[in-house]
Homo-oligomer: A and B are copies of this chain.
Amino acid sequence: MAKTQSITSASSAEYFSKNLQQVGFSSYTKAALTTLKEAVDNSLDACEEAGLLPEISVTIEKIGEGTAKNSDSIKIRIEDNGPGLEVEDIVKVFGEYLASSKFGRGRCSRGQQGIGISAVTTWAQLTSARGASVITKTEKMRKACQCVVEVDIKHNKGVLKSKEVIDWDRDHGLTCEFIIDARIQLQGEGGLLAYLSGTTLVNPHLTLRYKILEQDWVEVARVTDTIPEIPEATDPHPHTMKLGEFIAHSHLFGRVTIGAWLKKGFSRISDGVLTDLKKAGLKQSLLDTSVDTITEENFKNVFSALQKVNLMAPSTKSVLSIGETAMAKSIQRIGQVDFFAVVSRKPTICDFKPVLVEVAIARLIDRDMPEDGAVTLLRFANRVPLQFDKSACAMTKAAESVNWRSYGLNQPKDSLPLGPYIVAVSVVSPFIKFKNASKETVDASDELVEEIRRTLIQAGQRLSKHIRRESKEADLEKKRQHIEMFAPILVDGACRITRSPKNRRERALEGLAKLLGRDAALAEKELKVAIEHAEEAVMKMEQMTGILPEPPVVEEKPKKKGKG
């Protein structure tokens, strides 16, 4: 009955290094993708913070066999033109878990909690015995600093190694390089290329260069010079808090009255709300008590009362939008686009959290996409592509719930529509609820699914104008062919049956040509209307986007026999 074990405290680093499969390292192929993704996301966040237009360069090489069976040794290097990091920050960012400039700040940045890149360093360390190799230069630094950072797993501290000062021909920026056991998968939904093209799609201001394995360098230039402005977080909304958070929040305010604290520390609490609270039974004397003296019981009373009064929904100012203009341009970078539609909704509140949904749909020309395969659905959460576990995701569910047939697309029951289309859905929110730690699936709450669904429906309506125009054109062509083919057959038959003379045949043929010509004229007119509609849509788009997709050419078929 001896008590043998004493309680010891583990560091976060110990926890995460034991659970790397939960944060993106569940297989060697995912390890490569996660490494690329965390580094690129950090670069993008850093540039945005600093108000810089990002230029990111990626190289991925295979340098040999991995130390583990069935793996390759892969070198991944990401170079950016961001603000760079001070050396003391480098150590934290790359070598310490939960060290972040963003933790819990309620902003729409890609990274949030300071886990990702430290996990990459850990993986590199575990599989190649070498952490992150970093070069950094801030504007203030005269020369660049090159170093290796490792995670001290026992103490969750970054360890700086082989620090060197070097020349670097740029004002500021950061390069990081990892050697890891991994496997490269380029194609497919979980492939590296899907991540890179998805990232350029929702980051129109990004210029990306990459060279992967033996392939040539690829450059995707930015299509806008506007740097997304990241709105500041707003004060917390009482309905999004738990009691404990509510009490903890009071500690930030020192010696003020409850009433003042409520108005100052929260959004959507006005004098009117205080009046409502009093109507609901809260005493004025309590509102006048100082927050640092009231009892827990009274905190509970205030909190409960607040939960019961009606408040305005939280502000949506804290969400960031890519914008229809930028999306429209960016989608052209994916491939040869036939036509497209983009919709950027106004920010709204779902499940008490501000959220903004944007959708871009494009039909691609000449890409290896079969007419009868499902569309390619790209999902983005805070501008990061989600590449796994799509079936339970709010975005997938919303896309499957739309009746695409009414916009001219084929669609099996309860499924994604078919055709050579890209459907990109972007959800931006300071509080995205993921179903798991590896952040691949957005929880499908009814409110969020409905908001995404509405966005998709709007995009579908815009798209349908283009599709309608296409089908009108096909129609006109068919009508012309019909006239040429059937007019003589029909008239000849009727003449034989009525034993009519030849001249009657001529007259009837002429009349028929006129008649059917009228139909064709009518069809042509319909086409014109359809074209006008589609053009209107395109013009509207242009006003927003400044670019115009090539209109498909309507070929006039020369009439063959002079009689149609």
Contact = CB atoms under 8 A, between A and B. Distances in A.
Contacts of A138: 3
B437 A436 contact: yes
Closest 7 CB pairs of A and B: A126-B244, A5-B101, A126-B242, A10-B98, A12-B12, A67-B243, A9-B99
A554 interface: no
Contacts of A115: 15
A242 to B, nearest CB: 4
A247 interface: yes
Interface string A116-157: 000000100111111000000011000000000000010000
Contact of A14 (B6, B103, B242, B244): B103
A148 to B, nearest CB: 11
Given A2-B50, A129-B247, A247-B129, A15 B12 contact: yes
Interface stretch (A17-25, A54-62, A465-473): A17-25
Interface in A72-112: 83, 89, 92-93, 96, 98-104
A99 to B, nearest CB: 4
B242 A100 contact: no
A310 interface: no
A237 to B, nearest CB: 14
Given A3-B83, A96-B9, A127 B307 contact: no
Contacts of A69: 307
Contact of A8 (B6, B101, B122, B437): B101
6 contacts: A3-B83, A7-B93, A9-B99, A67-B304, A122-B244, A129-B243
A11 B129 contact: no
Contact of A51 (B1, B7, B122): B1
A96 B139 CA distance: 41
Contacts of A113: 10, 15, 18-19
A92 B10 CA distance: 11
B436 A10 contact: no
A293 interface: no
A498 interface: no
B127 A19 contact: no
A366 to B, nearest CB: 38
Nearest to A140: B3
Contact of A15 (B3, B52, B98): B98
A309 B218 CA distance: 42
B19 A437 contact: yes
